[in-house]
Amino acid sequence: MAVYDGSIYFADLLPQYADRWQDRFREEIDMGLRAGHRAFKIKVGRGAKWMDRAAGDARDVEVVRLIRRHAGSDVHLGADANNGYDLAGAKRFLDRAGDAGLLFVEELFPERVPDCLELKRLIAARGWKTLLADGETEHDLAAFKPFVAAKAIDVLQADMNAFGIEGILREAEMARPQGILVGPHNWGSLVGFTMQLHVGRAIGNFFRAEHDPLASDVLVAEGYQIADGACSVPDAPGFGLAIREANFARLKPRLDLKA
């Protein structure tokens, strides 16, 4: 199943990389490539809270272009703003960075059907193939219905852990007649990553699984190998997940419930 590395965050804003942030982004891309990735999602939206608006917007574009130059033309790139722009800002961002060949843009602004449709018209007018992705903050599948009816979003991103397997399957069924893809949101959850992949095998309109470099000394995930931008999916019971009992026994409980 196709995957992307979602871990390319704001390295340039961290004090330890202040004088070498360009090199740090290159290092992060190289780490992802060595791990088997051929697609990366880049966090943007610095002007929303971390930098002055104009400077932050300019840095977003600079980072996207830096990563495109370093990764090469055959690597897929996406950009996620966590609603850090409004519609006008999203248009400015795409006009300045769109020719970097973005596969998708995610949460550029709080989703509204008219705004999404207007941005899609801009993308089409520029001749780009960029997909518009959104929906990770929704808590009810009914919220997606107007976007599906209007084809206002290309990739629906209901959260994997919030909706569970059955919820994402229903989302995929809702989206399929309109040719809309499903790319579940997942962050900080190894179990959620494996769930995405198994859902992907069950539906025909799966986009990509979101991966971050997680490691656990308690949970063992056998049979998941990333190579050339795709991850293998085991047929083992229980998703191929197992517990290292000795390590689990050493964990301290976070709750102590007493009758």
Query: Tell me: the pLDDT tens digits for 203-214?
Result: 999 999 999 887
Q: Residue 140: is its pLDDT beyond 70? A: yes
Q: Residue 245: is its pLDDT beyond 60? A: yes
d(CA 171, CA 185) in angstroms, rounded, equals: 13
What's the average model confidence in pLDDT over 118-130?
97
Q: Which of 44-58, 160-174, 242-256 has the lowest mean pLDDT?
A: 242-256
Q: Which residues contact 136 (CB under 8 A, 6 or more apart)?
A: 106, 107, 157, 158, 159, 185
Q: Residue 155: is its pLDDT beyond 90? A: yes
Q: Which residues contact 175 (CB under 8 A, 6 or more apart)?
A: 144, 148, 156, 181, 182, 205
Specify the pairing of strand 39-43 against strand 209-211: unpaired
Q: What is the model's pTM? A: 0.91
Q: Residue 218: is its pLDDT beyond 80? A: no
What's the average model confidence in pLDDT over 30-43?
97
Query: Which architecture characterizes domain 3-215 according to CATH?
Result: Alpha-Beta Barrel (3.20)
d(CA 49, CA 15) in angstroms, rounded, equals: 17
Q: Residue 259: is its pLDDT beyond 70? A: no
**DSSP-derived 3-state class of residue 152:** coil
pLDDT band, very low/low/confident/very high, at 254 (cuts 50, 70, 90): low
Q: Residue 49: is its pLDDT beyond 70? A: yes
d(CA 192, CA 185) in angstroms, rounded, equals: 9
Q: Where are the domains of the chain?
A: 3-215
In this prediction, residue 239 carries a pLDDT of 79
* Bigger pLDDT: 214 vs 5: 5
234 contacts 240 by C-beta, under 8 angstroms = yes
In this prediction, residue 212 carries a pLDDT of 87
- Spell out the alpha helix ranges (H) of 35-108: 53-71, 87-97
- High-pLDDT (> 90) share of the chain, %: 83
Mean of the per-residue pLDDT values for the chain? 93
Q: Residue 248: is its pLDDT beyond 90? A: no
What's the average model confidence in pLDDT over 79-83?
98
First CA to last CA distance, the chain: 46
What's the average model confidence in pLDDT over 143-155?
98
